Structures are given as C-alpha cells and as structure tokens.
Amino acid sequence: MEKEILEVSQSSIAQALAADYFCIYYVNTETDRFIEYSSSPEYRSFGLPKTGDDFISFSRKNFEELIYLEDRELFLETFTKENIVKSLDRHSHFTMSFRMLFDKGPTYVHLKVTRMIEKEKRHVVIGINNIDEEMKQQARYLQSEEDRITYSRIAQALAGDYFSIYVVDPVTDRFFQYTATKEFDTLQVEKEGEDFFNLSRKNMRKLIYPEDKDRFMAVFTKKRIMSILKRDGSFTTKYRLMFGEEPVYVSMKATLLEDNEGEHLIIGTNNIDAQMKREQEYQQRMAEARTTAKNDFLANMSHDIRTPMNAIVGYTNIANANLDNPQIIKDSLAKIGSSSHFLLSLINDILDISKIESGKMQLSIGKCNLAAIFQRIEDITIIQAKQKKLRFSYDHSRVQHFHVIGDELRIEQVLVNIAGNAIKYTPEGKTVDLTAIEEAGTVPGRAKYRFVVKDTGIGISEEYLPHIFESFTREENTTINRVQGTGLGLAITAKVVELMGGRISVKSKLNEGSEFTVELELEIDDPEETVSKEERKTNDISGSHILIVEDNDINAEIAIMILQQFGMQADRAVNGSAGLEIVRENPNRYDAVLMDIQMPVMNGYEATRAIRQLKDPYFQNLPIIAMSANAFDDDVRDCLNAGMNDHIAKPFQPDELLKLLQKYL
C-alpha cells in the first residue's frame, strides 16, 4: 500500500513539476536512446520526434535551426556528450541558457541535465524551461544599474562646477538639494521641502544683488520657466548673489528631465564671476580702444577739414582783393577747386564707411571698360605724382580683355585709393608703379585680374601691418608727418574689394616701400559690344527749358548758371508745392525737372508723386531728376520709387549734369 501511494505521489509531483517546462526528455546515457516525457503545445509545434536514438546528435541537428543565430555557435560548442558527462560527474548536473526561435520571437530558455537517482546511474532527465521574462528583467536591471552608475558618476563630475543643484517635482513643487558647495551653504537656504518657486523667490529677495532683483523676479516664475522649457528645452538666466558684502555673478540653468519615474526639474547654479569679470575687462578695453580711435579720428578730421577750408577761405579773400588781376583770380580759383575736391573726398570717405558698416552699400554691376578706368587713374594720379616729383609708371600690357562686367565706379575707387595712398606716403624722387595683369579665370568666360601698386616709400612697420585695413587708423601722427586723410581709405578699399568677391593683400618693409595687390575675378564682356545709348548721344540740348525745384538760394543760383552756361533756359520753384503748381499750369513748357528732396511745405518725393498723378501723358513722361545731397543707395532707390527718372548727388560737376540731361532730352 505504501509503495502504491509512493508511486502515485511521485507521478503527481513529476506531472506538476513538468508543467513549468517546455519539454522533458528521459535519456539512457549508455545507449543514448531517448523518450519525450512531456512537452508544451508551443514546443510540440516544432514537430520533433518523441523518441529516437542518439539524443546528442538529434539535439544538435534539430536545435541548430531552432536556436537564435547569435547563440548557435555557443550551443554547438557546449552541448556535447563529453561536456555533459564531465559536468555530471563533477556537479551531478549540466546547465546552459540560450534563445530559441518561437513564433513570438527569440525566447530565453534554460536547459538542465540531471542524473537520476538509481544504482546504475545510467539515466538522465533533460528539461528545457522558459526563462525569458527573468532574463529580460535581469537585463533591464543590469542596464538600469549601469545607467544609474554612469549617470551618478557624470552627475558627480558635473556637480563640481556648480554652487548648487536642486531636483524639483514640477507637479507638486517638492524639492531636494542634490549637491551644494560650502560657499553656497553659507547662504543658509532650505535643502528640501515644499513650494520650491515661492520659497526661492522669498530667499532671493534677501540674497540677490539689488540691481538684479527686479529682472530676476520678472523671469523666475514657474509659469514662465515651464513655458520656456517646453519651447526651447532649457532656461538660463544670469544675476549676482550677495556673499557677505561681495556680489558674485552666477548663472542658473533649468532643464526638464523625463525618465521612467516621471518628469524632474533640474536647476543648477554655477559660479561665473571670474568669466564675467574677464568679459567686462575685455569690453572696457575695447570701449577704451574705440574711444581712443574715435578721438584720434576726430583730431585728424579736425586738422584735415580745416586745412582745405583754410585754403578755400584764404584764396576767396585773395581773389576778392584782386578783382582787377585775372591771373591771380584764375590761380586762386584753381586752388579753391583743388581744396574743394579734397574736402569732398573726405566727406565721401565718411559716407562710404557708414554705408559699408550699416550694410547699405550696394554694387552697381554693368558693362565696364578697364581701359577707360586705367586712363582716368593715370589722369588723376599723374598730376599728384608730378607735384611730388615722383616717377609713376603705368603698365597694363598683360591685359587682353578690357571689356568686363563689374562695378566700374568701385573698381576705379579701389585703384585710385591705393595709388593715391602710395603717392601720399612716398617721398620726393622715389617711384610708384601700377601694374595690371590678366590671368585665366576659374570658369570659362571669366578672367582673374591682378592689380599691383608698388612704391619705394616709407613702408609700414610690422606692428601696424595687421591693422592696415581697419577703420579710423593711421600709423603716424598726421600733425607731425603732414599726411592728410580720414584714415578710412584702405578700410573702405578692403571692404569694397570684399563686396566684389575679391581679395586684397599687402607686403611692406619699413623705409623700403609697400606692395598692395588686389585680385578680382570678372566676367568678360563681348569685345565687340556696341556703344551704349548714352554714349551715342552727343546731341545739342541747348535751348531746352528746365525747371529747378530748390529751396536753397545758393544751390538754385549755381544750377541756373550751369544750365545757362550750356545754353539752356531755367526757371526756379522754391519748394515742392510751388514746383507742382508751375508744372500743372504750364503743360509741355518744361523739357525736364531738377528736383531737390528735402524742402519745406512739400518735399521732392511728394511733389514727384503728385506730378505723376496728373492726367495728361506729358506729366507721366516728363523727365524728373533728383538733385539731392541724400546720396545713399536707399535714397536713390526712394527717388526711383517715387517716380523720378534718375539721381545726381550734390555737389556735382557741370559735365555730370550735362551728361545726365543728354540721357533724357
């Protein structure tokens, strides 16, 4: 009876335990015959035989296809009869884990071989059970531990740079202090608690530097910080904390961290006092340098403007005192004209640098004749060179294509500035050479032009050479060396070259001379280009009737005299409103209008728009030319947008006005 009960109990226990296994095999280790004791429906879906000979070979053959690829090699190396027997003799069992390919994907299983308790020890039981969830939990735990250790080390390393780090629950506002320096602890603020934001604002009212208090309180609210965090991902602000009597610059950074445990607001405050003080010292040095440069510039300008003005006033008085001597008057007028031209160049330099630094300078790209530029440069510089008894040579023999597409005015300005500078700083009896060289461009249809100005003048010191293209700078005091100018010429030149996509460089040795090189790549124009419409116009416009709308009496008188000089008739209106009435009441009388811009009652823009709105076609076709001291590119564009045909800047040369009128009459 006891034997029967024991057999029944053992059977029941075995069946109960077998429920936890995918399958259980019974194997004779001497014959290797096997029989399947039990298996789950999932395991039976593999369709493997339930009995057979040579269990090891059976397993290696069938399991190789059923085992996850990454685990196959390890299984085949480990699951051998020799390894199993050795392990059984030593430990009474053999185990290994791997992944099998079930329908739901790779699943971790545990295989265990156990020797049965019998006298002969010829039989073993092999069971395979599902350990997938345990293995995944273990993997998650190990990864979590690894992340925790990694994050902890990183956090500890970074925390060393911070005064304090707080972790805040953004929902409940509960907080605790993750870390803090001894210096921060002297502030005696709470290390943990409730209502982080209100408590912090209360503390900051006592601790923050008075000048920063209002700004900090305005930004440090939960609503504002959370809004910025959701928009930008982080929030930062700088302010000063009072440590005793000394304010210290700090930077607060807030970051929203989300993990498996929810959202956490991390708020760190670090000491940036040394950095801010270095920045302030740097800014102060820069401000002092700018002030010094501007003061030097104003001193130079005062000297340079007074010099030509003194000549203008002086020679005007000489001419008035010698009205009966034509030669003295002629000589005085020539010197007044020369001084006026120099004074205008000073003003143009200031306007140009202002346009460049405000981003308003624009190129006027069109057909460009390099030969004409070279000729004008020679005409301008040869007189200066002769006055200083310099030998100036001009060589453009290595240029094949003179007709290009570019900004003719700016190319000329660049070369005149550099050549003029060379003349200015080269002593009597020395030489200046201007050479132009054409080379192949980077793409077909373009050419690279190299313009080299070389002199044997005073040269440039090594200390000043890096600053040669900076604004408002000169190497020497002009009150000593008598060299005039704004100190803007080379700065303008460098920026114009950059605007044209070119490059400028300089080589120089003190007391030996300098060599400036400008490189521009320009599109080659058709060498047989036709002469432009404006160039073809050589018609005589004498007899034309012009209306001058100008509120300044002297400017109006000068314009009338210039027009009369070329045989034209001229009437004047004192402002835009008067000009509008004269034109409206006298249709077809005037061939063109010269319109000032800044005038009382009605300005030039308003007057032009009003004329264009008159019904007769004459008013739409009447040439209206702005004649204004507003010379920026924006001013020209505003004139065209108002309905004007063109623009000429005051002061102007008579030939410039004549050429412009010939374009439209």
Q: Domain containing 491 — which CATH number?
A: 3.30.565.10
Judgement on whether residues 515 and 624 belong to the same structural domain of the protein: no
Least confident of 18-32, 68-82, 477-491: 477-491
Quick one: 164 and 196 in the same domain?
Answer: yes
Structure tokens at 214: 């209002």
Reduce the DSSP state of residue 402 to 3 states and report it: coil
SS3 365: coil
Q: Is residue 532 part of a domain?
A: no
Q: Are residues 112 and 182 both part of a single domain?
A: no
Lowest mean pLDDT among 71-80, 153-162, 266-275, 629-638: 153-162
Query: In angstroms, how far apart are the furthest CA atoms of the chain?
Result: 162
Beta pairing partners, 113: 94, 126
One domain, residues 371 and 516? yes
* Selected residue with higher pLDDT from 5 and 428: 428
- Where does a domain end: 227, 244, 271? 271
- CATH number for the domain spanning 315: value is 1.10.287.130
Q: What percent of the chain has pLDDT over 70?
A: 82
Q: Which residue blocks in 322-428 are alpha helix, DSSP H?
A: 326-357, 370-387, 408-424
Residue 155 lies in a domain: no
My answer on whether 227 and 187 are in the same domain is yes
> What is the pLDDT confidence band of residue 516, given thresholds at 50, 70 and 90?
very high
As a whole number, the mean pLDDT across the chain is 82
Strand, coil or helix: 639 = helix
Q: Is the model's pLDDT at 237 over the cut of 80?
A: yes
Whether 343 and 477 share a structural domain: no
Say yes or no: 169 and 306 in one domain.
Answer: no
Q: Mark whether 368 and 471 lie in a shared domain.
A: yes
pLDDT at 629: 72
* Same domain, yes or no: 409 and 483: yes
- Evaluate if residue 477 carries a pLDDT over 50: no
Q: Which of 308, 340, 355 is the last residue of a domain?
A: 355
d(CA 326, CA 578): 40
Q: What is the pTM of this model?
A: 0.43
State which H helix or E strand residue 477 sits in: none
The model's confidence at residue 529, banded by pLDDT at 50, 70 and 90, is: very low
**1 falls within a domain:** no
pLDDT for res 356: 62
Q: State whether 553 and 412 are in the same domain.
A: no
Given the structure tokens 């000048």, which residue do they identify? 211
432-450: per-residue pLDDT in tens?
Answer: 999 999 999 888 889 999 9
Q: Name the more confident of 156 and 398.
A: 398
Could you give the dihedral angle defined by the CA atoms of residues 330, 334, 335 and 340, in that order, rounded to the nearest 10 degrees?
A: 130
**Overall number of domains in the chain:** 5
3-state SS track over 206-265: HHECHHHHHHHHHHCCHHHHHHHHHHHCEEEEEEEEEECCEEEEEEEEEEEEEECCEEEE
399 and 429 part of one domain: yes
Expressed as residue numbers, the domain containing 288 is 284-355
Evaluate if residue 2 carries a pLDDT over 50: no
d(CA 451, CA 563): 39
Cα 403 to Cα 395: distance, rounded to the nearest angstrom: 17
Residue 612 has pLDDT above 70, yes or no: yes
Q: What does DSSP assign to residue 67?
A: B
Nearest to 588 by CA among 645, 547, 537, 538: 547
Residues 515 and 545 in one domain: no
- Any domain includes 533: no
From 471, 496, 524, the end of a domain falls on 524
615, HSE (Cβ side, Cα atoms, 13 Å): 0
Residue 67 β-bridge partners = 100
pLDDT tens sequence across 542-567 = 899 999 999 988 888 888 988 998 99
Task: Examine residue 530 and state whether it is found in any structural domain, yes or no.
Answer: no
- How far is it, in rounded angstroms, from Cα 516 to Cα 422? 9
Bigger pLDDT: 474 vs 123: 123
pLDDT of residue 475: 57
Does residue 6 fall inside a structural domain?
no
Establish if 7 belongs to a structural domain.
Answer: no
Residue 29 has pLDDT above 70, yes or no: yes
List, for residues 478-491, the tens digit of each pLDDT value: 333 444 444 556 87
Residue 233, sorted as left (phi over 0), alpha (psi -120 to 50) or beta, turns out to be left
Percent of the chain with pLDDT over 90: 23
| CATH code of 26's domain | 3.30.450.20
CATH number assigned to the domain comprising residue 623 = 3.40.50.2300
595 vs 279, higher pLDDT: 595
User: In angstroms, rounded to a whole number, what is the distance separating the alpha carbons of residues 76 and 87?
Assistant: 16
In a domain, 4, yes or no: no
